[in-house]
Amino acid sequence: MCGICGIVNQDPQRPVDLEALKAMNTTMYHRGPDDDGMFVDKGVGLAMRRLAIIDVAGGHQPVHNEQQTVWTVFNGEIYNYRELNTRLEAQGHQFYTHTDTETIVHAYEQWGEGCVDHFNGMYGFAIWDSVNRKLLLARDRMGIKPLYYALSNGTLVFGSELRAVLAHPVVTRRLNLHALAEYLACEYVPSPLSIIEGVHKLPPGHILVFDAAGLRVRPYWELSLASSEEPSVRTEEEYAEELRDRLRESVRMELMSDVPLGVFLSGGIDSSSLAAMMSQITPGQVQSFSVRFEDQSFDESSYARQVARHLGIQHSETTLEPRVMLELVPKLPDILDEPMGDSSLIPTYLLCQFARQYVTVALGGDGGDELLAGYDMMPGHRLMNSYQRFVPRPVRRLAASTLVNRLPVSMNNLTFDFKAKRFVDGDGVSPEIRHQRWLGSFTPEQIGQLLTKDVRSALGSADPYQTVRYHWSRCNAQDMLNKVLYLDTKMYLEGTILTKLDRASMAVSLEARVPLLNSTFVEFATRVPMKYKLKGMTTKYLFRKAMQPLLPANILGRKKKGFNMPVAKWLNKELRPLVTDVFSESRLRQRGIFNPQYVTGLLQEHQSGRKDNRKLLWTLLAFELWADRNLYCGSMA
């Protein structure tokens, strides 16, 4: 695992700013403390930081072809590289390393831009073709690894993190107001936007080409759920058996490592299934790690311990105490280079930091909910259809105003009042907007009250749900629930889940892998009919059935809890001095983005117990902490 960056001038006579390239690379030291490397030619410079996983001694980057006309810097893993190397050697290619990085070089020589069609992996890489003076950037299909870029006056700057791109002087730290609106609605900035004007994320499954003809971005792969809606004669038992086989193969491929490896174990079905497969493949060698919470409504550690005992694996856990949280919250901008309003970043970082004491690579269960219908919103949509069909609109309005919104407020994890209020908030809007309102933070109406008059004027009629509507319209499936899965995969999975995992793990120089997003498993999951994913109101039905021979019944029957922390309570206690300072009227007025009266109202409602505003307040806190570190005065201009 690495951090990569580079500078390419369209004019070859224009020399690369070497000091800027070094500065960009230095910002990503945490991504690769083991080694660094640089390649500089006419008008081009590539650089990288390396965390050595494969061919520890011989994997120095950048890597080149036999004639040294093709160079690459690479962040990630190509899991099928040995198979590809055999094919490439048969075509006459000669290898001088044992790394998967060199596979990329020769695959490009053999198949050109189509090389990405052959890779099973997680990656963000850059290839410089000196003969054609062409740069190729590529990002993996699911967006596991990040890649940012900016083009200014004929100079393309790219990097694994936003902070690397911002280290180049051609990039101005100007706030992207459209991205801000989408951040407030989603709790993250969805691709291809970034929070900085002029800087973009390369979307998952896309390549970028930059040469004398200019810059071009195109998809090379698209998630398709249409086949899951085609008639099938296969039984659920056959699907369950194939799920086990595909998962076992994906885990086997992702156990590839020359350094110690473990698994994040929460006691949920995803991580427990990975641990079960690992214990079959490498019996007696599996190490698992979890985080314990003192607040029992958030704690899952007993389930993790049960699974570890059941599988006979070595288990270790750490505790997230308020003291630890207080130390970590001010460090959020050091972990994240873009604001993200998901408080589970804190326990994720702590888990990665803890695991890094024992291993260099850890497997995580991310992706199963998006592929196999694991979120509570899935039965929620089904329930909403019945609610709207059988309950008259006037009665629904009365229920929302007099019953649900008067429920006592609880600050515990995923309580009935929280779910009920979210549910009625999704009534009366289209399915994609309903889903985003359930999952996200601020509504458009709230955003209008939150932003100052000047920001609203500059923002104009920008739609905070623009990216939501875009992806919904592009899904080739017809079933509404399939479209929801597509939306979650394109947005929430990449924007929050994978971003959180990448930044938290790389901040402590740990490589995190996600076998449920391996191409082998994804290809299967997209073919599974919805009736086997969500059966009645049972989420992830097929996954539960498939794992019955391997996991305890109470683990398989558990409802999803989520990797959350007691942020609602901490905002009123341990975090109270911090939020009081960050949300002070003087600071907010000086920034000029948020209406101080509205923010004060949110805080007072929460601290008095009248409303649970945890999501809104944390979304604002994450942005303000990020802005303190990354925005200059007048950065909205």
Residue 282 pLDDT greater than 90, yes or no:
yes
Tens of pLDDT, residues 580-619: 999 999 999 999 999 999 999 999 999 998 888 999 999 9
Residue type, 357: Q
- Look up residue 306 and give its two tokens: 């049960």
> In the structure, what pLDDT confidence band is assigned to residue 634 with cuts at 50, 70 and 90?
very low
Tens of pLDDT, residues 435-463: 999 999 999 999 999 999 999 999 999 99
Query: Mean pLDDT lowest for which of 145-149, 378-382, 628-632?
Result: 628-632
Task: Please state the rounded mean pLDDT for residues 462-490.
Answer: 97
Query: Mean pLDDT lowest for which of 33-42, 105-114, 547-556, 583-592?
Result: 33-42
Residue 295 pLDDT greater than 80, yes or no:
no
- Look up residue 35 and give its two tokens: 């080694």
pLDDT at 420: 73
> In the structure, what pLDDT confidence band is assigned to residue 560 with cuts at 50, 70 and 90?
confident
pLDDT at 300: 85
Query: Mean pLDDT lowest for which of 199-203, 367-371, 555-559?
Result: 555-559
Q: Answer for the pair 540, 547: CB distance below 8 angstroms, yes or no.
A: no
pLDDT at 401: 60
Please give the C-alpha separations between residue 384 and each of 431, 456, 488, in angstroms, as whole numbers.
10, 33, 18
Q: Answer for the pair 6, 73: CB distance below 8 angstroms, yes or no.
A: yes
Query: Mean pLDDT lowest for which of 62-66, 200-204, 331-335?
Result: 331-335
Say how far apart CA 602 and CA 596 lie, in whole Å. Answer: 10
Residue 515, Cβ neighbours under 10 Å: how many? 30
User: What percent of the chain has pLDDT above 70?
Assistant: 94
Say how far apart CA 274 and CA 311 lie, in whole Å. Answer: 11
pLDDT at 207: 98
pLDDT at 408: 59
Q: Give the HSE-up count for residue 125: Cα atoms under 13 Å, Cβ half-sphere.
A: 31
pLDDT at 430: 95
Please give the torsion angle defined by the CA atoms of residues 422, 364, 27 and 632, in that order, rounded to the nearest 10 degrees. 0
User: What percent of the chain has pLDDT above 90?
Assistant: 80
pLDDT at 535: 96
pLDDT at 416: 65
Q: Answer for the pair 270, 517: CB distance below 8 angstroms, yes or no.
A: no
pLDDT at 297: 72
Say how far apart CA 24 and CA 171 lie, in whole Å. Answer: 12
Task: Please state the rounded mean pLDDT for residues 180-198.
Answer: 98
Angle between helices 177-186 and 431-439 (to 10 degrees): 80
Task: Please state the rounded mean pLDDT for residues 228-236.
Answer: 94
Residue 432 pLDDT greater than 50, yes or no:
yes
Q: What is the SS3 assignment for 428-482? A: CCCHHHHHHHHHCCCCHHHHHHHECHHHHHHHCCCCCCHHHHHHHHHCCCCCHHH
Tens of pLDDT, residues 509-538: 999 999 999 999 999 999 999 999 999 999
**Phi/psi at 590 (5° precision):** -65, -40
516: Cβ–Cβ under 8 A, 6 or more apart, which residues?
247, 250, 270, 274, 365, 366, 367, 368, 371
Tens of pLDDT, residues 386-430: 888 888 888 877 766 666 566 556 656 566 667 777 777 778 899
Helix (H, G, I), strand (E, B) or coil at 358: coil
Beta strand ranges found along 203-283 (DSSP E): 206-211, 214-219, 261-264
Residue 1 pLDDT greater than 70, yes or no:
no
Task: Please state the rounded mean pLDDT for residues 327-332.
Answer: 90
237: Cβ–Cβ under 8 A, 6 or more apart, which residues?
none
- Look up residue 517 and give its two tokens: 């997003």
Residue 637 pLDDT greater than 50, yes or no:
no
pLDDT at 633: 46
pLDDT at 260: 85
Query: Mean pLDDT lowest for which of 158-167, 314-323, 501-510?
Result: 314-323
What is the maximum span of the chain, computed from C-alpha positions, in angstroms? 75
Tens of pLDDT, residues 351-368: 999 999 999 999 999 999
Q: Answer for the pair 328, 349: CB distance below 8 angstroms, yes or no.
A: yes
Q: Give the HSE-up count for residue 200: Cα atoms under 13 Å, Cβ half-sphere.
A: 17
**Phi/psi at 527 (5° precision):** -95, -10
Mean pLDDT of the chain: 92
Q: Which of 407, 336, 213, 348 is nearest to 629 (CA)?
A: 336
Say how far apart CA 554 and CA 558 lie, in whole Å. Answer: 6
pLDDT at 562: 65
